[in-house]
Amino acid sequence: MNLAMIDDASQGRTIVKLCGELDISSAPDLRERLLAILSRQTLSHLILDLSKVEFIDSSGISVLVSTERRARLLGCALVLVAPQAPVSRVLHICGLDQHFVIAENISAAAGTVHPDLHRSFRLRARDEGEPDPAAT
């Protein structure tokens, strides 16, 4: 798995571009690198560009879930960008397409709302009888 990082400290975000397969052989290294990014910086957004990831298995899913959990605990939004069809399908089958914030491109990811605010809005809309905006 190839990884390229773009830090935008002025905006409080880091963009990580992944390329290749996110599987049992690449997952441990990626997990360490993502957790290192989260531990050394104060971020508002960690953006993972998945547009060049061709395959993901359960090890890769585990990395995404644990990274999102750690990011949330640190007050950082994890945003997945442009997963290819095979990756998108796995996320959908696991129900994680409803859990993660997924953007079509990097500029859309940079404008996403913090996940706690997004979740709060979705819950409030449901309580008020309005349609869930995430369901559209």
Residue 64 is part of a domain; what is its CATH number? 3.30.750.24
State how beta strands 13-22 and 2-8 pair. antiparallel
Count CB atoms within 10 A of the CB of residue 136: 5
Residue-wise pLDDT tens digits, 80-119: 999 999 999 999 999 999 999 999 998 888 776 554 544 4
Is the whole model's pTM more than 0.75, yes or no?
yes
Length of the chain: 136
User: What is the model's pLDDT at position 60?
Assistant: 96
What is the distance between the alpha carbons of residues 126 and 4, in angstroms, rounded to a whole number?
A: 39
Owner of token pair 């061709």: 54
Number of folded domains that form the chain: 1
User: What is the model's pLDDT at position 1?
Assistant: 67
Residue 49 — very low, low, confident or very high, per pLDDT cuts 50/70/90? very high
Q: Determine the structural domain holding residue 26 and report its residue range.
A: 2-135
